Amino acid sequence: MAEMVDLRLRTALQRLDSAGRLLKVQDRVDPILELAGLVKKLDGDRALLFDDVAGYDMPVFVNAIASMDNVLTVFDSDLDGVRQVMSRGLTNSIKPVMANSGPSQEEVIASAVDVEHLMPILKHSERDGGRYITSGVVIAKDPETGARNCSFHRFAVIGPDQALIQLDNGRHLRALWQKAKDSGLPSLPIAISLGSDFAVNLAALAMGAEAPLGRDELDIAGGLRGAPLPLVKCKSIDLEAPADSEIIIEGQISTTQMITEGPFVEFIGYYSEVDPAQLVTFQCVTHRHNPIYYPIFGVEMLVMSKLMREAAVLRSMKAVFPGVIDCEMTRGGLHRFHVVVQVRKSRPGDEGMQRNAALAAITAIKDLDCIILVEEDIDLRNSHDVEFALATRFNASRDLVLLPGFRTHEYLVDAADNGVRTKMIMDATRPYRETGYERRVQFADVDTSNYTLRSEPDPNLIASLLSARAHV
């Protein structure tokens, strides 16, 4: 029996606080621009809790897994343990179970829905088209098969009970919406889970071959947890939602009505285009007693995606070449476009397999555009070490593999031509040698905590040093 991992939002909050990874903001903060501006200043570091948000009684918790230190704290594990959980979610799905009731339905608002009044929905940056819900895991069902789907989408709030959603081509929710439209249905029912168990958030980011249309991401969430995810029946639509969420919004995506939406800052750092988007009407909201609002933006979404993508990449590469040890999707590559892969060549027949594995990675994750291959003596999470491998082991005339005409991100990469670009593999591994290679120089492994290290300025430093030696 797999060990259950508790990834609920409130468990994460408590663990981060206990580990000193939570900053509690005491001052009153405005949800319009100010809160997001402060979070952005501290992006990629500790989590934050805002207990005094102007105009609202609801606290705001953000950045829970915006850094790997936070990830390890939330998972209560080391990196190997996190990797095992991620792999388990992809390979050992566990179907959810129905519960008669759950915290996410402790309070029900079935009429006069007003999300603007209820929740401290943020306006993130000055040119945003309005206030955006950014942490919504959208749950929908295939109108033909009934198969459930979960995915992240943003919502531009345009009124108390209305919002806009962009349904990009190629996304599964778009396919379900199109089926509803083609069937003559006026709308597609959706449940929006806010403040979900992080297993749900991570599962909703599964993509490609790991989560084809028809595979229930809530099964993946169960695999991540090591136990079935409890669900409750929605109050106004034929859908199920996570029982432990902070807030559930029930609504309908219109198949006929569209309104211009945007701009909004994309993960790549630019504003989105202003385009028509589908109208969403909210008809019911359920939530916990005293719910916590959890927005997701900045580097956190990239780190969340990184966890799922690395698990998928490792699984694909190891199936091709067991000599693959580890991988790191880098921050500079937005944890999406670049990956460093660490390999071990154990016999002559392994030569070249590192490149086969790199091709498997590109096949598994469409957006991967640059793969750097290094050996096990290189710290793949140290950019200086990786650059050392490139400087001393990479010969561009021999080790640069160009792959023209490959598909990448649909529209956000300037270097691409309508979503097509040349990808590359930079092989910074040395050719296999039976006798091995000279080992890089090693130094004594000392524990810095055993030493008194002071950094306070001393205006009399030189005089103190000379005085101390005069008495020796």
Which domains are assigned to the chain?
9-299 (2.30.110.10), 321-427 (3.40.1670.10)
Average confidence (pLDDT) over 290-317: 91
Average confidence (pLDDT) over 103-117: 97
Higher-pLDDT residue of 2 and 54 is 54
pLDDT at 253: 98
pLDDT at 365: 86
pLDDT band at 1 (very low <50, low <70, confident <90, very high): very low
DSSP state of 409: -
Residue 352 backbone zone (phi > 0: left; psi -120 to 50: alpha; other: beta): left
Residue 216 has pLDDT above 90, yes or no: yes
pLDDT at 466: 87
Residue 133 has pLDDT above 90, yes or no: yes
**Which strands make up the sheet holding 47-50, listed edge to edge?**
22-25, 47-50, 60-62
Residue 232 has pLDDT above 80, yes or no: yes
Average pLDDT of the chain, as a whole number: 92
Residue 5 has pLDDT above 80, yes or no: yes
Higher-pLDDT residue of 267 and 283 is 283
pTM over 0.75: yes
Question: What is the number of H-type helices and E-type strands within the chain?
Answer: 13, 20
Q: Out of 62-66, 315-319, 404-408, 411-415, pick the least confident.
A: 411-415
| DSSP secondary structure of 272-300 | PP-EEEEEEEEEEEEE-SS--B----THH
pLDDT at 209: 64
Angle at 314 between CA 309 and CA 316, to 5 degrees: 95
Residue 471 has pLDDT above 80, yes or no: no
Average confidence (pLDDT) over 33-41: 94
Higher-pLDDT residue of 127 and 400 is 400
Q: For tokens 């959603």, what's the residue?
A: 165
Residue 472 has pLDDT above 60, yes or no: no
pLDDT at 316: 93
Give percent of the chain with pLDDT exceeding 70: 97
pLDDT at 404: 94
Residue 335 has pLDDT above 90, yes or no: no
| DSSP secondary structure of 366-395 | TT--EEEEEETTS-TT-HHHHHHHHHHH--
pLDDT band at 200 (very low <50, low <70, confident <90, very high): very high
CB 251 within 8 A of CB 173: no
